[in-house]
Structure 1
């Protein structure tokens, strides 16, 4: 086809001119003669027309040939696969960028759900903005067309990019050992993308190494959960010997290592063994989950950091197995800090932790606040608590930025009116650096931790207990409480009973409590109450906060637990997300989850 410029040039000068005719009266003889001459002219014109048509065809061919150098069949600034995976690129510059792009699909938490943390859709917190999107998880309005955590398309985009990378990286003439690492890393990210799909939707279509095109049959049915699990576990096992052992240099922090593959396997098998996917409580599944966690422990590369709060503001520690790497920022503080400060210290206060979470933290002696020996004082509820309490929550009277936080009614950080502010009397403190006496929110390391060693200990404890090994489960909880700063007590049990005094059911409750405290706001609780199938218990009824009033004369505070939000959870369908409506419409082989 001619480009517009050549069409006007060639067709314009080849267009024949129409002769002008001068009218006059002529005789019959002259008319016959004219008729003969006209026929002759017509015959000549037919010949000329044929010649012109041939010339026009040649001109058009010339024009097309000349246009081929300028016609763009795709944007010239687009990097195609041939550019990215270049057999002449010894430095693998573009291929490395392609892998970095695949890394960008790793789970990245903090305020990712319309400015709120995911746990704002659990019993641990709520958004400080009434009517926020996270209420979809607690008001029964989740649907195939309304899901603020719909990652179906994103995960499959990552899977496709990983498959393209794996199918083409071998043509790049870079270091062979580097390519082995890269391919294993891409396979890990593909595997964790499937896991992210599975914990939301259950079994999903497995694509393997295929790079689908528009000519393929895209009516792909779902695989079962067990088939997907086998795939993820198989990938973790296959890439384990191909990955780096550990990261020694700063430039490689955040890269996938053997520990990350083992940690993913541990989490995958724990989910598969839980009531969500193991209603008959098949012990073989718990055996596999325990073995996977034990392999990370015996690997010997990881340990608990001595300071709990510092884990979340340090780029590289022996406790961190894998974290999503981010630049130094102060966005966590600005998004979640108390709202009563001014200028550059003004926080949005996006997250309101619940009273249920606050009450879950024991006292410094490890006793629950309901225990007669705990020393808990309802008139002074924030005194002598588990140190993790102060690393997780802002409470009334807590020191921050050279003043005490005021979440009492009418206080600086709960002023009333229409601005978003705490609904519960608390703000989220976790992940922030220590700004107790600071004058500014200095930039800090805020890498979202995907796997850390504390989770592995909790995984091991849970699996051990379900197999009847209460003693080993107890040992892991003691390690976590000791690191937290809870006092040992005369019996050395850090507020726990002696192992022999626990039944499996009692120890199960203790493990779940410890997991809630230790992993708060790390996108664990939201999924834990689903895999334990306890969401129908904790998300039906009221979530509470603390109403705090100050006596204008004496300055004494009164603390009253009050209901803040009514929540509901439909157990018949909400343990799985609905598959997005547009995906089901496009693929009639894709069956929807039950009761959606």
Structure 2
């Protein structure tokens, strides 16, 4: 940490106080004795006479704005404190093997070309996370001034703040490994920062301790009375969210990157953390579930005609709509912790195919590597014997999550089929001609996008980014349990539940541990695509050196008469240095301003 970071944090706090002050002034008549807003300090925020804690809660709510926001956040030039902007950026997974940006100079590619350094890091969240930790520490140091009338409310707010702080430390941990732990310390702006890094294990144990201490005071996930999680608390850190963070934290700790000796007890702990959530669901303590309703009709049997057999079409369309509805329904029981934002059109603005009159940016281009991961509806991989895959009609009869995730040539969007053949509306220049402005792979991202907008204008609508969702818990459990004890019935049940939601057949019986590991990793890739999972999965599994060294591919489609011919093509070379790139480099400014700071190996 550094002086300039702390100054930034002081400024962000001052902005918050001013916003609150202006809100207060606007709600009452101006009088001669009303002090100027810039002179109002934290006594207003943590008011000793405010039994409702109105402004203190606003301060806590502001901390929620620092949670991971997902979507096209990389390279965005201006992110306000309170909303997602419409600035064009990239998704994090465009720096993995799942996608590339449509501009070959976009900074996100530094993760797949070996271009990051201590001075250039497209995902440098060090300052932002420590700024958020500072806000939590300010809140915890001052909230006891506020005489809250509601019994237990102060304890819950403190627990939420501590859970948020645990989340911010996890965001640091997964990027840099061990980082400085500062406890409840609130540094003065002029104070020299001289704090050494703690070890990975020390930071992990601190996060676990914070979560375990907070959980008894957090709301559960049920809707109802007696301290349970009412609908108006959706998006807050409840007990289930704290348990989900614990599940992910322990899974990462057990994974090869952080568990080179393959200590089985670490896998068992990770499995138990996920199982605790699943057991709470079974006991009706939590209402989490796989979202199993087509609450939004993104597609119909007319718009998806020809995508599968006529006999299967109706069920297939329902499965596609079910999956898409997870991300377009404002609140549902699958989302354990969402990033909450006002209705907006940023996802469509950033990712729309470029040929529509509303002129989307088409930023996210899925790779052929990701496309090839989607099975046929009979459960076989495309190159597996008996799959039924036909190269001349490559998108027919594929896992319903495929058209829910990837926009390909011929998929219906808004008012027409997408045209990504050379010279088509959505690839007007054709493969290899342009380095920006249209798809480089022949694909666009479909996931998260709503289809209820006008063909000429972007309509603000719900976009739910799932920080944690129940499907991940099932996948976390399956992975950890398989490593701890092997592919028992509970592992099959967890994976098969996710597949059944979209009408995919059960996994074949008799898989050994290695085969099940492959299946789980595959399932995680297709289920969680573009949710900021793959980027971290290939690191914690230590396979980035395998999947990000070589070449990423796309498709070239050519229209001859009424026939489209497809050919897999090379899109971009990729490079990953296993000697250093599994951890981010510590930012250069941190190294020069903190005498106790040390750099990660080989940077």
Judging changes above 3 Å, is the alpha-carbon distance between structure 1 residues 439 and 145 closer, same or farther for their aligned structure 2 residues?
closer
| Residue 364, structure 1, aligned to residue 348, structure 2 | no
1:384/1:569 CA distance change after superposition, 3 Å: same
Counterpart CA distance in 2 for 1:567 and 1:75 is 56
Q: CA deviation at 1:330?
A: 2.0
Greater alpha carbon shift after TM alignment, 324-333 vs 279-288: 324-333
Number of the residue aligned with 2:86: none
Report the 3-state secondary structure (helix = DSSP H, G, I; strand = E; otherwise coil) of the residue aligned with 1:408. coil
Is residue 2:289 matched to residue 1:303? yes
Partner of 2:365: 352
Q: 1:75 and 1:130, CA in 2 relative to 1: closer, same or farther beyond 3 A? A: farther
Contact 1:462 1:508 in 2 (8 A): yes
**Superposed displacement of residue 335, structure 1:** 1.1
Say whether residues 1:281 and 2:230 are aligned partners. Answer: no
Residue number among 516, 520, 525 corresponding to 1:516 in the alignment:
525
Cα offset for 1:469?
2.6
Shift, 1:119, TM fit: 0.4
Matches of 1:477 and 1:141, distance apart in 2: 36
| 1:293 alignment counterpart | 274
Which of residues 182, 193, 202 in structure 2 aligns to 1:227?
202
**How do 1:262-281 residues align onto structure 2 when only pairs under 5 Å count?**
262-281=243-262
Q: Does structure 1 conserve the Cα–Cα contact (< 8 Å) formed by 2:343 and 2:460?
A: yes
State the SS of the aligned residue for 1:558: strand
Between Structure 1 and Structure 2, how many residues are aligned?
A: 510
Identify the structure with bigger relative contact order (alpha carbons < 8 Å, sequence gap 6+). 2
What does the per-residue CA deviation read over 1:33-79, in whole Å, with 9 as the maximum and x for residues that have no partner?
xxxxxxxxxxxxxxxxxxxxxxxxxxxxxxxxxxxxxxxxx985154
Question: In structure 2, what is the Cα distance between the partners aligned to 1:483 and 1:296?
Answer: 19
Distance 1:172 1:468 in 2: 50
Task: Say if 1:165 and 1:420 are closer, same or farther in 2 by CA, change over 3 A.
Answer: same
Q: Give the direction of change, closer, same or farther, for the CA distance of 1:78–1:304 in structure 2 (3 Å limit).
A: farther
Separation (CA, whole Å) in 2 of partners of 1:238 and 1:106 = 20
What secondary structure is seen at the aligned counterpart in 1 of 2:71?
A: coil
Alpha-carbon distance change, 147 to 469 in structure 1, aligned in 2, over 3 angstroms: same
Corresponding residue for residue 221 of structure 2: 246
Q: CA contact under 8 A between 1:128 and 1:350: conserved in structure 2?
A: yes
Is 1:573–2:580 an aligned residue pair?
A: yes
CA distance in structure 2 between the partners assigned to 1:222 and 1:440 by the alignment: 49
Equivalent residue, structure 2, for 1:530: 539
Q: Secondary structure at the match of 2:131?
A: helix
Q: Distance in 2 between matches of 1:555 and 1:415?
A: 17
2:442 is aligned with 1:468: no
Match of 1:98 in 2: 59
Q: Tell me, in whole angstroms, the C-alpha distance in 2 between the residues paired with 1:141 and 1:290.
A: 36
Partner of 2:317: none
* CA positional deviation for 1:89: 1.9
Shift of 1:215: 6.8
CA distance in 2, matches of 1:566, 1:485: 36
Alignment pair present for 1:112 and 2:73: yes
Dislocated runs of 4+, deviation >4 Å: 214-217, 435-441
1:566 match: secondary structure = strand
In structure 1, C-alpha distance between the alignment counterparts of 2:191 and 2:131, rounded to whole Å = 17
CA 1:535/1:465 → structure 2, altered by over 3 Å: closer, same or farther?
same
In structure 2, do the counterparts of structure 1 residues 299 and 106 end up closer, same or farther at CA, with 3 Å as the change threshold?
same
- 1:433 equivalent to 2:444? Answer no
Structure 1 residue 546 and structure 2 residue 507: aligned?
Answer: no
Query: Does structure 2 retain, via aligned residues, the 8 Å contact 1:402–1:437?
Result: no
Map Cα deviations across residues 139-174 of structure 1 (whole Å, 9 max, x no partner). Answer: 111100000100111111110110110011011112
In structure 1, the residue corresponding to 2:120 is in which secondary structure? coil
1:456 paired residue number: 473
List alignment gaps of at least 5 residues for structure 2.
1-34, 76-88, 224-229, 293-321
Structure showing greater radius of gyration is 1
Distance 1:435 1:397 in 2: 19
For residues 150-203 of structure 1, give each alpha carbon's deviation from its aligned partner in whole angstroms, at most 9, with x where no partner exists: 011111111011011001101111234221111111101100000000000000
2-structure distance, mates of 1:266, 1:227: 17
CA change 1:436–1:177 in 2 (3 A) is closer
> Which residue of 1 is the match for residue 392 of structure 2?
379
- In structure 2, the residue matched to 1:413 is 426
Q: Judge conservation of contact 2:453–2:459 (CA < 8 Å) in 1.
A: no
Q: Do the aligned residues in 2 keep the contact of 1:401 with 1:439 (CA within 8 Å)?
A: no
Q: Residue 417 of structure 2 corresponds to which residue in structure 1?
A: 404
Deviation at 1:474, TM superposition (A): 2.0
- Greater shift in the superposed pair: 248-257 or 333-342: 248-257
Q: Measure how far apart 1:468 and its partner are.
A: 3.0
* 1:560 and 2:567 matched: yes
1:360 Cα deviation after fit: 0.4
Moved more, 526-535 or 216-225: 216-225
Q: How does 1:322-337 map to 2 (within 5 A)?
A: 322-337=337-352
Q: What are the superposed Cα offsets for residues 340-370 of structure 1, whole Å, 9 maximum, x if unpaired?
A: 011xx32110100000000000011111101
Per-residue deviation, 1:594: 0.3
Among residues 503, 511, 529, which one is paired with 1:485 in the alignment?
503
> Take 1:170 and 1:312, find their aligned partners in 2: how far apart are those partners?
38
